[in-house]
Amino acid sequence: MDLTQRLAGKVAVITGGASGIGLATARRFAAEGARVVIGDLDPVTGEKAAAEVGGLFVKVNVADKAEVDALFDTAATEYGSVDIAFNNAGISPPDDDSIETTELEAWDRVQLVNLTSVYLCSRAALRHMVPQGSGSIINTASFVAVLGSATSQISYTASKGGVLAMTRELGVQFARQGIRVNALCPGPVNTPLLKELFAKDPERAARRLVHVPVGRFAEPEELAAAVAFLASDDASFITASTFLVDGGISAAYVTPL
């Protein structure tokens, strides 16, 4: 068995594919034989990422229904199908903090990008997957969807909880139509988003790192490996799952010395 070609012949759409986990996954998908369509807001980094993986870039605001529909329709038109949807785009802005200080505008902005976008992307992907009777949708939730945090990002946490609940429902609803839907729940990952957040608040970084049993944050490539597994037929009996890739955080009471 050639595991480097697990995704041969598959067409994968990745939102937030120009950086972080999305870019690492685009590279992994391409290495495993998939044709990759990268949806992102930044045309400069998006075009660069698509060129690197021999794929296609489509500029998209994931909170805009028409643009999301165009992203998935373009993938189907150019490559013939939509087999994998990695709904990964998300934000974690500094004005999303404690519920006592997070204003409604910040709450709404995070909900739109992190949660509404997954609704829009899942709908758009399902329009192609249901008629073909197959597909794998992977939605990026977070370990904060299953834990509480005293260093709060209230709208981010709530949005990821919503992603997790929606994923379960879709996974159950479409299971007998040949479509699997799973939630990737990463622990803290060394992405530009996290590095920027923690550079502004080293105390917050230290308070989080101490709770990771393996003693470090994840690398984007480690999450990409998990996404590739969920996208592949190796995960053919896995759907509606909370797929934790968190270094043991969610299972820890105290971390080892």
**What is residue 1's predicted lDDT score, i.e. its pLDDT?**
61
Mean pLDDT of 95-114: 97
| Residue in this structure with the two tokens 């068995």, named with its chain if needed | 1
Note the helical H segments in 133-219.
Answer: 154-173, 192-200, 202-209
Q: What are the pLDDT digits (tens) for 35-69? A: 999 999 999 999 999 999 999 999 999 999 999 99
**What is residue 53's predicted lDDT score, i.e. its pLDDT?**
98
Global pTM reads 0.95
Residues catalogued as catalytic: 156
3-189+219-244 belongs to which CATH class? alpha beta
Q: Where are the domains of the chain?
A: 3-189+219-244
Given a cut of 80, whether residue 196 has pLDDT beyond it is no
Tell me how far apart the alpha carbons of residues 176 and 179 are, in angstroms, rounded to a whole number.
7
Q: Which residue has the higher pLDDT, 230 or 199?
A: 230
- Using a pLDDT cut of 70, give the percent of the chain over it: 98
Which of 185, 97, 223, 107 lies closest to 149 in space, CA to CA?
97
Q: Which residue has the higher pLDDT, 256 or 231?
A: 231
Tell me how far apart the alpha carbons of residues 96 and 56 are, in angstroms, rounded to a whole number.
33
**What is residue 193's predicted lDDT score, i.e. its pLDDT?**
67
